[in-house]
């Protein structure tokens, strides 16, 4: 049996996790972990992403980025010029997200409420990451992945941000985090963080990036139509909002 897990996890976030200057228009921080079975990732997920890119761009070097698609900026400026093509693209993208084999876990922290409730609030990233790691740990235990190394891929930001994130991740993985009431023995499922540039053009990171902001908006504006979330909702492992 391989020492590596049969699964791979991609992580991405939406919003700023800082607590000192909270944006009143977007006072939330969301972290998403997308879990893929490696066999299905190779056979279905990557080919689906490449097929979409070939159809609309003629090559697969393009990176699907939620903000650029939403703002219709290059290389997605064609979306604002052709209504029919825009509808076709969004329909195909929604269908892809609905069909892709995955499970996702998300934690959305409403920073203003968090600050109002606690005198010395914990870092939203720490809360969200510990929650997502706990849920993925439980999934791996249920699926017979004990003692097999699970790689969790984060988008590299560079500098101190990556270093601080890795330190916090390893603190949780070493059973040294003490936020919350539940205790998990992470040694049973070794987790290893990997920091990858967005330019690596990985299908898993692009899918996770497309999900993070819509999931944040679901909490912030629950009555607003959200086609992106509707497409992926059946694949939810858990959706945590706090506080």
Q: What is the predicted pLDDT for the residue at 217? A: 96
- Residue found under tokens 């607590």: 19
Q: Are 237 and 107 in contact (CB under 8 A)?
A: no
Q: What is the predicted pLDDT for the residue at 1? A: 55
Confidence of residue 181 (pLDDT cuts 50, 70, 90): low
Q: Are 241 and 219 in contact (CB under 8 A)?
A: yes
Contacting residues for 47 by C-beta, under 8 A, at least 6 apart: none
Q: What is the mean pLDDT of residues 177-185?
A: 69
Cα–Cα nearest to 104, from 211, 186, 17: 211
Dist CA 180 CA 105 (whole Å): 17
Q: Are 13 and 31 in contact (CB under 8 A)?
A: yes
Q: Hey, what domains does the chain have and what are their CATH numbers? A: 7-40+102-242 (3.30.420.10)
Q: For 19-39, what is each residue's pLDDT tens digit?
A: 678 888 999 999 999 999 999
Dist CA 231 CA 98 (whole Å): 5
Q: For 136-166, what is each residue's pLDDT tens digit?
A: 999 999 999 999 999 999 999 877 878 888 8
Tokens of 29: 């921080």
Cα–Cα nearest to 104, from 179, 7, 242: 7
Instruction: Record the pTM.
Output: 0.93
Which H or E element spans position 89? Answer: helix 83-99
Dist CA 212 CA 10 (whole Å): 12
Q: What is the predicted pLDDT for the residue at 145? A: 97
Dist CA 195 CA 225 (whole Å): 33
* 25 class by beta-carbon count within 10 Å (0-12 exposed, 13-18 middle, 19+ buried): exposed
Dist CA 130 CA 118 (whole Å): 18
Dist CA 157 CA 200 (whole Å): 13
């Amino acid at each position: 049996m391989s020492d590596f897990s049969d699964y791979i996890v991609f992580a991405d976030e939406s919003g700023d996790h800082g607590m000192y200057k909270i944006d009143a228009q977007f006072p939330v921080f969301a972290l998403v972990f997308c879990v893929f079975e490696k066999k299905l990732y190779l056979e279905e997920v990557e080919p689906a992403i490449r097929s979409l890119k070939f159809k609309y761009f003629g090559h697969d070097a393009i990176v699907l980025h939620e903000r650029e698609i939403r703002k219709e900026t290059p290389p997605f400026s064609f979306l604002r010029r052709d209504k029919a093509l825009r509808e076709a693209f969004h329909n195909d993208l929604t269908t892809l997200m609905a069909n892709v084999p995955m499970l996702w876990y998300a934690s959305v922290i409403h920073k203003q409420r968090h600050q109002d409730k606690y005198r010395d609030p914990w870092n939203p990233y720490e809360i969200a990451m510990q929650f997502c790691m706990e849920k993925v740990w439980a999934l791996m235990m249920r699926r017979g992945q004990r003692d097999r190394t699970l790689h969790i891929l984060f988008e590299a930001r560079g500098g101190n941000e990556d270093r601080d994130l890795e330190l916090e991740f390893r603190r949780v993985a070493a059973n040294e985090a003490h936020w919350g009431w539940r205790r998990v023995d992470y040694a049973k499922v070794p987790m290893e963080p990997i920091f990858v540039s967005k330019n690596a053009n990985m299908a898993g990171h692009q899918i996770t990036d497309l999900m993070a902001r819509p999931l944040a908006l679901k909490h912030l504006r629950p009555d607003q139509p959200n086609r992106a979330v509707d497409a992926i909702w059946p694949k939810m492992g858990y959706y945590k909002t706090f506080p």
